[in-house]
């Protein structure tokens, strides 16, 4: 499968010989607060792959990671990633390795978690890799790709606890042992301080309108024991509500929980914390004022000269006060709102608008746009000539 997309790799190799692939430098190394994830770009979403994959050679960087040897592939659309849209095949055309230098505190203990799978498209069937903590091998890991495919990667959570930092900087390195085009694949890499039961805390959205709902998800470092595992949850902002706790039943590794929000007049942030022994994990949710949800026009195609009825809908009923929606057209000489603004009263969620059209000699499309609190939505209107 990866060989099908190899044309994009050739592109990258050619560009990589010059200065066409800007590496993203690692962040300045300062010790992280307890519970913070030390790994940057651990889900490999940077840079965004424009095709199926990008290949990187020894010495090149990509989103805080450095290729230590050989070649690796940053893969986007060939298979389903564990988290997000991208993952890393540690074997490009040959076996490769990647590393990141983490800001640690000498003598403190850390826990590493990551997801492992394998490139099923070619041999060997069982993929092999090594993980190093500051050049100390954490062992050889294997993954059997039998029966696996693009939508069934079989991602497996790997957890390595009790990692003691030797100094202020510790190198985390992943090395492929498969000198082929089809190697072990990794994603969702995290290193946090402590020996807690939690390996990650994620929010399905990190920015949304105050009034909307979202969800969070906790992942354990290992399956919950027979009695289950209780995870305590808190929010630093009273306008963001989470359950006091959730219970993962025996054998479960992940569980989602609801997050409720309230209206805000300006942007506000909330720190959501999850703990199950050890240092809590945190994630930040930012609330923004209510914005535009949609613009509707009836009909969507009209003979020039006729009026069109429109409706602007907000994400939630207007609060904590009236909300002004700005209106405009991309082609005001073809179709334009009859007013520049519509005010949606507090407690209401919609506001009517009339769009005036003008005679045309050929079918012409104009986009009618509405913006409230920096959130813009649009609807395309087709204006046709008179018969």
Contact between 377 and 293 under an 8 Å Cβ cutoff? The reply is yes
The angle subtended at Cα 149 by Cα 146 and Cα 155, nearest 5°, is: 80
Least confidently predicted of 6-15, 130-139, 146-155, 346-355: 6-15
Whose structure tokens read 């929606």?
325
pLDDT digits (tens, 9 = 90+) for 175-220: 999 999 999 999 989 888 776 678 889 999 999 999 999 999 999 8
Q: Are domains 198-288 and 292-384 of this chain identical in fold?
A: yes
The angle subtended at Cα 309 by Cα 306 and Cα 310, nearest 5°, is: 135
Whose structure tokens read 């890991």?
141
Write the CA distances from 103 to 38, 223, 280, 324, integer angstroms: 7, 29, 19, 47
Instruction: Give me the CATH topology for the region 292-384.
Output: Immunoglobulin-like (2.60.40)
Percentage of residues in the chain with pLDDT exceeding 70? 89
Burial group, residue 321, by CB count within 10 angstroms (0-12, 13-18, 19+):
exposed
Q: What is the CATH number of domain 2-193?
A: 2.60.120.260
Domain 198-288 coded CATH 2.60.40.10: yes
Q: Mean pLDDT, the chain, as a whole number?
A: 88
CA 275 to chain centre: 22
Residue 117 pLDDT > 50, yes or no?
Answer: yes
All structural domains of the chain with their residue ranges: 2-193, 198-288, 292-384
Give the pLDDT band of residue 22 (cuts 50, 70, 90): very low
Burial 189-198 (b: 16+ CB within 10 A, else e): bbbbbbebbb
Least confidently predicted of 178-187, 242-251, 365-374: 242-251
Tokens at residue 149, please? 């495919």
Rounded Cα distance between 209 and 245, Å, is 24
Contact between 88 and 81 under an 8 Å Cβ cutoff? The reply is no
**Across 342-369, average pLDDT:** 96
The predicted pLDDT at position 355 comes to 97
Count of residues in the chain: 387
pLDDT digits (tens, 9 = 90+) for 337-347: 999 999 999 99
Of residues 237, 233, 242, 294, the one with CA closest to residue 264:
237
Q: Is 7 helix (H, G, I), strand (E, B) or coil?
A: helix
Q: Are strands 169-176 and 126-133 parallel, antiparallel or unpaired?
A: antiparallel
pLDDT digits (tens, 9 = 90+) for 119-133: 999 999 999 999 999
């Amino acid at each position: 499968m990866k060989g099908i997309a190899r044309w994009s790799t050739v592109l990258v190799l050619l560009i990589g010989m010059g200065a066409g692939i800007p590496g993203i430098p690692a962040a300045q190394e300062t010790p992280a607060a307890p519970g913070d994830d030390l790994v940057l770009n651990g889900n490999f979403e940077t840079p965004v792959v424009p095709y199926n994959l990008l290949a990187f050679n020894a010495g090149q960087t990509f989103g805080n990671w450095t290729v230590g040897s050989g070649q690796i592939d940053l893969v986007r659309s060939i298979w389903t990633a564990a988290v997000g849209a991208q993952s890393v095949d540690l074997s490009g055309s040959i076996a490769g390795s990647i590393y990141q230098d983490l800001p640690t505190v000498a003598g403190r203990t850390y826990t590493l978690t990551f997801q492992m799978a394998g490139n099923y498209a070619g041999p060997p069937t069982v993929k092999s890799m090594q993980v190093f903590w500051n050049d100390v091998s954490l062992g050889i890991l294997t993954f059997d790709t039998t029966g696996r495919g693009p939508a069934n990667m079989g991602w497996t959570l790997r957890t390595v606890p009790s990692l003691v930092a030797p100094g202020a900087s510790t190198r985390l390195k992943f090395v492929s042992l498969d000198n082929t085009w089809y190697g072990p694949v990794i994603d969702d890499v995290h290193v946090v301080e402590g020996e807690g039961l939690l390996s990650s805390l994620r929010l399905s959205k990190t920015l949304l309108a105050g009034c909307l709902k979202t969800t969070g998800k906790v992942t354990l470092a290992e399956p919950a024991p027979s009695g289950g595992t209780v995870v305590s949850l808190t929010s630093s902002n009273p306008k963001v509500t989470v359950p006091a706790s959730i219970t993962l039943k025996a054998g479960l590794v992940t569980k989602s929980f609801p997050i409720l929000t309230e209206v805000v007049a300006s942007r506000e942030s909330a720190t959501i914390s999850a703990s199950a022994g050890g240092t809590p994990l945190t994630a930040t949710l930012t609330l923004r004022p209510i914005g535009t949800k949609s613009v509707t026009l009836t009909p969507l195609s009209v003979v020039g000269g006729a009026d069109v009825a429109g409706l602007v809908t907000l994400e939630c009923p207007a609060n904590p006060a009236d909300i002004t929606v700005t209106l405009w057209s991309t082609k005001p000489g073809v179709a334009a709102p009859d007013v520049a603004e519509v005010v949606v009263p507090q407690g209401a969620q919609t506001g009517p608008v009339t769009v005036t059209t003008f005679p045309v000699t050929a079918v012409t499309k104009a986009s009618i746009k509405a913006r409230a609190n920096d959130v813009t939505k649009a609807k395309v209107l087709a204006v046709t000539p008179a018969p």
